[in-house]
Each structure stands twice: as C-alpha cells, then as structure tokens.
C-alpha cells in the first residue's frame, strides 16, 4: 500500500488529544508492521493510551537509531473545516485532515522507511527502532515519557530523529532547510499584583491591583527581551546573513541583531530567528476578582516562559523584572513544577554531516542550517537516556504552500505529491547513519 493510503487511514482514526485514544493508531501500525514480519509491541500506559514500538535488527556494533513520532493530534473545530477533518479526503491535490502535517505525515514516512528496511533487508551496524507514541500534544506523560520511565530498554538509542526539521523555508528564491538541533525549556511564571481591597462604588485607583497588573503587562509586552545567540543559532545566522545582504559578524552581534532582523524578507524565517534568539514570557491566563462590586486585592497573570539553552530561571526572572520595572507592587513567582530543560545538540560531527549531505543529495541547491525550536517536543523526554535528537522529517514543499499557517489550524492538509521525496531522503539517511 502506498504512503498516501496509510496517511489517509491514519487521519481517519480520531486520536484528538484530549482524550487521545491513540490505541487506534497504535493497533493500525502494529498490524501493518506485523504484516512485514516485525514483532511490534503495543504498550498502553492507560486504557486507550497506546504506543507502538518495532525494531529492525542490525548487528548491534553501535547503539540504535530511534525514529520517534506521535500518534495524537490536537482537537478540531469541525465547523471551520472545508472537508471532514477525520475523512482523509483527497481534493485539489491535497490530503485533508487533522494530523496531515502534525504529524501523521511523518508517522507515515517513518513507517514506510521501516517497511522498506523489511523488504530490502540491508545489513546495518545499529538497530532501527520505530516508536509511535501517545500524548505528545498534551504532556507526553502517557506516551514517550511513560516509555522512558518503564520501557527504556525498548527505545534506548544513540540518535533520535523526529518532527520539526528539514522542511523548507524560502528566502529570496533560496530553499532553506532548518534542522532542529535543540529546543527551548519551560519556565512558567506568575506576575502577582497586590494592593488594597475595597468597594467597587468608591475605587482608589492610586492603589489598585488590577491597574498595577495592567501596567506590568503593558510594559512586558511592549519591550523585547534581550537577544542571546547560542552556538546553534550563530551557525545558522552566519549562513543566512549573506543571503540577506548582511554582514555575518554584525548579524551575530546581540547588540545589533534586533535592528537587522526586520531586513529578513521571510516572515516565517524572521519569527524563527526572533524566537530562537531570546527568552520569552507570554501572558496567557489572567485572574482577578470574585464579585462585581468588590475591588480585588490581588490580580495575577500566568506567563508562558521559555528559556534558551544556557539560560537560567534567575536569568529570565531578571529580564522580566527589567521589563516591568521595580516601581510597581508586582512580584514574580516561579512555578517550578512546570520546568523543563532546554536542549541543544551541536550542529557538527559525522551525524550532523550525514543529515546535511542527504538533504543536499536530493536537493543540491538546499541551504541547510541548524535551528532551535521555540516550543517543546517529545525530544525532552529522551534526554535522560542520552539520546541525541534532531528534528529531521524531510518534506519538499513548494514556496506557495503555507505550511506554518495550517499546523494546528483549520483545513490542515498536505500536498499529495510531497511525501515521496522525504521518504527517500529519510531512508538514505537511516542507511548511512547505520552503516
Ligand atoms: Zn507534532
């Protein structure tokens, strides 16, 4: 069966998370893999929360290669869609449906690579492990995190390849392929303003918690947090600078980069660089007041804080404090239970060179750069096992396809003809990494 049919079948299995119900996809994949003489294992962390693991055996001279993916998708607002989000329909040259880009397309790619290994039976120096995991879109707790805690032997590997990389961004006619070499960490914060309570009929705005909080939020969202250039982003900026007509040394100078950034003509690339070169603290949840005629003495906002590799909790708190100032009765609280570490894997050495070479083998004009992801993925769960992870899910989209606007959006869809190129790149890459 061809890749598109598998993608359609996977889209038709509703694995919206919550609740997940990834067992549908895990069972489907297990059936396909068993048909190719694999001995897949379906593991349920909770009823319905299924993950599937299969292994192609090499001679074990080197630690395995892990192809990991997630089987869940984010929920949909069905009324906003042109086609049934769980129909897997083909129309206008696209396969439509939730997961077409994130990431049942990549599940399919990795599946086809496993089927090709089973058919061609190459002799490899590493095992190749396929891990289709539950629960990436919510917490990972019922998916990869569970597997790491309870079945580490099944997924232990030296190298991990997954989503968020090797997908082109176009810049002045150049196809830029960022490969994800790391991601930011979480530092959730709360801004808490305190003042006097009172009656809503006689407000004292000179000492008013909601007003203090509003001023703090206004200051925070008006200011840019400082620029930090990690080794990964320095490599990327040096490669990109000449394509934009910028001096590489100036573009890598944290003091000058913010002023130069607007000269990057692609908004997608501009956003990528912006978010990968600073910590962030986005206000997301507001809370104050219990009754319309009572002035609350406390007002709070939750900040979705993200830190670059090398940045500490104290660093981001100091940056937020500098942005909001010290003249307001607003404290910054750190919710440590939501912390996760940033990751950064050096964009150098034989593994990195193999990834770059295999993109350029089938796309000689590609400009490959390393990147840090602003968000987080399942790759964090693998850190305790010492797996070196890369976002490497090659797709050759054309310049007019607006991928970034469709991931997690309405009418998620993928061009029918875009899977095969990436499957060939991924297959060659797997062979080379395991030879
Ligand atoms: Zn994803």
Please, what is the average pLDDT of the chain? 96
* 371 Cα: distance to centroid of ligand 1 (angstroms): 16
Residues 6+ apart with CB under 8 A from 82: 96, 411
Give residue 138's pLDDT band: very low, low, confident or very high (50, 70, 90): very high
From ligand 1's centre to the CA of 408, what distance in Å?
Answer: 9
Cα separation, 33 vs 36, whole angstroms: 5
Q: How far is the CA of 428 from the centre of ligand 1 (A)?
A: 23
- pLDDT at residue 106 is higher than 90: yes
Q: What is the mean pLDDT of residues 111-139?
A: 97
Residue 29 makes CB contacts below 8 A (sequence gap 6+) with: 40, 52, 71, 107, 111, 130, 132
Q: What are residue 179's phi and psi, to 5 degrees?
A: -110, 125
Separation of 185 CA from ligand 1 center, angstroms? 17
pLDDT at residue 289, rounded to an integer: 97
| Phi–psi pair at 214, nearest 5 degrees | -60, -40
Q: Report in angstroms the alpha-carbon separations of 299 from 62, 189, 195, 330, 413.
A: 55, 14, 9, 9, 41
Separation of 163 CA from ligand 1 center, angstroms?
A: 6
d(CA 410, CA 76): 7
101 Cα to the center of ligand 1, angstroms = 8
Stretch 287-310: mean pLDDT, rounded? 97
- 148 CA → ligand 1 middle, Å: 18
Q: pLDDT of 207-238, one tens digit each?
A: 999 999 999 999 999 999 999 999 999 999 99
d(CA 171, CA 265): 7
CATH number of 3-164+377-433: 3.40.630.10
- Distance (angstroms) between ligand 1 centre and the Cα of 270 equals 21
Find the 69 Cα to ligand 1 centroid distance in Å. Answer: 8
Phi and psi at residue 144, to the nearest 5°: -60, -40
Cα 292 to ligand 1 centre (Å): 41
Task: Compute, in angstroms, the gap from residue 131 CA to the centroid of ligand 1.
Answer: 14
Q: Which of 218, 264, 217, 220 is nearest to 245 (CA)?
A: 264
Q: How does pLDDT run across 46-80, given as a tens digit for each residue?
A: 999 999 999 999 999 999 999 999 999 999 999 99
Residue 38 CA, ligand 1 centroid: distance in Å: 25
What is the pTM assigned to this prediction? 0.90
* Cα distance between residue 120 and residue 372, in whole Å: 35
Give the contacts of 23 (CB within 8 A, at least 6 positions apart): 42, 44, 48, 49, 50
Report the top-level CATH class of 185-226+278-338.
alpha beta
User: How confident is the model at residue 172, as a pLDDT?
Assistant: 86
Q: What percent of the chain has pLDDT over 70?
A: 100
- Determine the Cα–Cα distance for residues 133 and 98; give it in Å rounded to an integer: 17
Output DSSP code: residue 224: P
Other CB atoms closer than 10 Å to residue 5's CB: what's the count? 12
The rounded distance, in Å, linking the Cα atoms of 381 and 70 is 13
* Residues 134, 48: Cα–Cα separation, whole Å: 9
Cα dihedral 29/31/33/36 (nearest 10) = -150
Query: Using CA atoms, how far apart are residues 62 and 158, in angstroms rounded to an integer?
Result: 8
Distance 370 CA to ligand 1 centre (A): 19
Structure tokens at 68: 């990991």
Is it the case that residue 311 has pLDDT exceeding 90? Answer: yes
Q: Name the residue ranges covered by the structural domains of the chain.
A: 3-164+377-433, 185-226+278-338
For residue 394, with 0-12 CB atoms within 10 Å meaning exposed, 13-18 middle and 19 or more buried, which class applies?
A: buried
Closest CA to 156 of 382, 324, 416: 382
Which pLDDT does position 405 carry in this prediction?
Answer: 83
Distance 300 CA to ligand 1 centre (A): 31
d(CA 426, ligand 1 centre) in Å: 18
Using the mean position of ligand 1's atoms as its centre, give its distance from the Cα of residue 50 in Å. 17
**Is residue 1 predicted with pLDDT exceeding 80?**
no
């Amino acid at each position: 069966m061809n890749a598109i049919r598998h993608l359609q079948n996977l889209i038709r299995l509703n694995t919206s998370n919550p609740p997940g119900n990834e067992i549908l996809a895990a069972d489907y994949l297990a059936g396909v893999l068993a048909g190719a003489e694999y001995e897949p294992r379906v593991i349920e962390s909770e009823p319905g929360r299924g993950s599937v693991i299969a292994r192609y055996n090499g001679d074990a001279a080197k630690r395995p290669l892990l192809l990991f993916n997630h089987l869940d998708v984010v929920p949909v607002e069905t009324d906003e869609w042109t086609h049934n989000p769980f129909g897997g329909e083909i129309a206008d040259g696209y396969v439509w449906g939730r997961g077409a880009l994130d990431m049942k397309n990549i599940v399919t790619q990795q599946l086809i690579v496993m089927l090709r290994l089973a058919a061609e039976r190459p002799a490899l120096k590493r095992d190749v492990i396929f891990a289709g995991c539950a629960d990436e879109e919510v917490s990972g707790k019922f998916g990869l995190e569970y597997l790491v805690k309870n079945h580490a032997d099944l997924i232990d590997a030296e190298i991990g390849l997954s989503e968020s990389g090797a997908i082109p961004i176009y810049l002045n006619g150049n196809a830029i392929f960022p490969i994800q070499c790391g991601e930011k960490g979480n530092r959730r914060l709360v801004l808490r303003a305190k003042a006097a309570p009172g009656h809503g009929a006689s407000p004292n705005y000179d000492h008013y918690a909601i007003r203090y909080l509003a001023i703090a939020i206004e200051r925070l969202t008006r200011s840019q947090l400082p620029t930090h250039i990690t080794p990964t982003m320095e490599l990327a900026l040096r490669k990109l600078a000449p394509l934009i007509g910028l001096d590489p040394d100036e573009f890598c100078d944290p003091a000058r980069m913010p002023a130069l950034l607007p000269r990057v003509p692609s908004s997608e690339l501009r956003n990528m660089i912006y978010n990968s070169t600073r910590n962030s603290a986005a206000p997301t949840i507001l809370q104050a007041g219990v009754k319309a005629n009572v002035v609350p003495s406390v007002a709070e906002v939750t900040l979705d804080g993200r830190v670059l590799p090398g940045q500490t909790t104290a660093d981001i708190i100091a940056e937020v404090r500098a942005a909001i100032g010290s003249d307001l009765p607003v404290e910054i609280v750190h919710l440590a239970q939501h912390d996760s570490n940033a990751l950064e894997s050096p964009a150098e050495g034989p593994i990195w060179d193999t990834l770059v070479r295999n993109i350029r083998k089938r796309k000689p004009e590609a400009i490959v750069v390393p990147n840090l992801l602003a968000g987080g993925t399942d790759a964090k769960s693998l850190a305790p096992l010492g797996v070196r992870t890369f976002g490497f899910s090659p797709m050759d989209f054309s310049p007019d396809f607006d991928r970034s606007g469709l991931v997690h959006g309405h009418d998620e869809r993928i061009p029918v003809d875009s899977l095969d190129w990436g499957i060939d790149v991924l297959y060659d890459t797997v062979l080379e990494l395991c030879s």
